[in-house]
Amino acid sequence: MNPETIDDLAVSVTDGTNPVSQVEVAIGQITGTTGSQGGCTLHDVPVGTVTVTATKTGYVTYSQEVIITSSTETLEITLEPQ
């Protein structure tokens, strides 16, 4: 039996004020890169507790456990400049 997943998870990355582009966002083997508006979409994200990481040169790496439910549609991440 396959674990439950959600089809699309919209991710938004900011520095607290402005969108941050070219951020590598990962949940396990599922990855995406934010565009000019600081967003990307991850597909087939597993439901449950997952570790989300977001990395970009010049920013502190974000790593946080997040609970994904079948109704989760968005994830907002704030990166801190180094």
- Enter the pTM of the model: 0.93
What is the Cα–Cα distance from 34 to 17, expressed in whole angstroms?
16
CATH code where residue 62 lies: 2.60.40.1120
pLDDT of residue 16: 95
Range of the domain at 61: 5-78
| Helix (H), strand (E) at residue 30 | strand 30-33
pLDDT of residue 44: 95
- Number of structural domains found in the chain: 1
pLDDT in tens, the chain (82 residues): 567 999 999 999 999 999 999 999 999 999 999 999 999 999 999 999 999 999 999 999 999 999 999 999 999 999 999 9
Listed as own residue / partner, the contacts of 63-66 with beta carbons closer than 8 Å and 24 or more positions apart are none
